[in-house]
Amino acid sequence: MKKGLLLLVLVFGGINMNAQTKIAHINSQQLLDTLQSRKDAMAKLQKFEEEGVLELQEMNKSFEAAYIRYQQNEKDMTPVIQQMEQEKLQKKQQALQTRQQELEQQMQIYGQELNKPILDLVQTAVNNVAESKKFSYVLDETVTLYFKGGVDITKEVMTELLKLEKELMGK
């Protein structure tokens, strides 16, 4: 009997809890696209990438020039000199590959560094709107496979976000 009553309480309590659950959704990409700080961060990241590409192109030109010189002079080289020149070329090629990997890692770290304060700002704006509107869940349309219903609070979050960004820029 006690188990039956407990089950009824849990079932009806669960229904009551579900009736109070409010779900909202946002479009995070739309929010990010409106932020000037995000545009500035993307411009910095693109500049960093362009500088890295130029550096790699210069290293590649140097390698190619050394390789062409090697090919042109190979027949006049002794086997020992050929071996030494081949090792130099291998080192240049390895340095190029290593630098490319380093730049990719640095770009990822720099991108995370630039995006963290922006994503924190978005999270704060979502939290503020969700708390003021008493939402239990806020889903992101850009990563949710399926949702139906709920309230679109993208505009309210955008307003809050722009207000927070303005306050942050004013400091």
In a domain, residue 165? The reply is no
Residue 122 within any structural domain of the chain? yes
Q: Residue 4: CA atoms inside 13 Å, Cβ hemisphere, count?
A: 1
Q: How many CA atoms lie within 13 A of 80 on its CB side?
A: 0
pLDDT for position 16:
44
**Pairing, β 23-26 against β 137-140:** parallel
Instruction: Look at residue 42 and tell me whether its pLDDT is greater than 70.
Output: yes
Quote the CA–CA distance of 108 and 95 in Å, as a whole number: 20
Helix (H, G, I), strand (E, B) or coil at 36: helix
Query: pLDDT value at position 150?
Result: 86
Q: Is residue 57 domain-resident?
A: yes
Using the predicted structure, report yes or no on whether residue 137 has a pLDDT greater than 50: yes
pLDDT of 5 higher than 90: no
Task: Pick the closest to residue 81 from 65, 63, 69, 93 (CA basis).
Answer: 69
Residue 126 lies in a domain: yes
Alpha carbon distances (Å) from 75 to 67, 72, 88, 131, 138: 14, 8, 17, 77, 71
Vertex 72 angle, CA 71 and 74, to 5°: 60
Q: How many CA atoms lie within 13 A of 45 on its CB side?
A: 18
What is the reported pTM?
Answer: 0.74
Is 22 within the bounds of a domain? no
pLDDT at position 129 is 96
- Three-class DSSP category at 151: strand
Torsional sign, CA 89, 92, 94, 100 = negative
Number of separate domains in the chain: 1
pLDDT tens-digit series, residues 46-83:
999 999 999 999 999 999 999 999 999 999 999 999 99
Look at residue 19 in the predicted model and tell me its pLDDT: 53
pLDDT at 13: 46
Q: What is the pLDDT of residues 76-107, one digit of tens each?
A: 999 999 999 999 999 999 999 999 999 999 99
Residue 56, domain extent: 50-140
The size of the chain, in residues, is 171
Average pLDDT over residues 109-129: 96
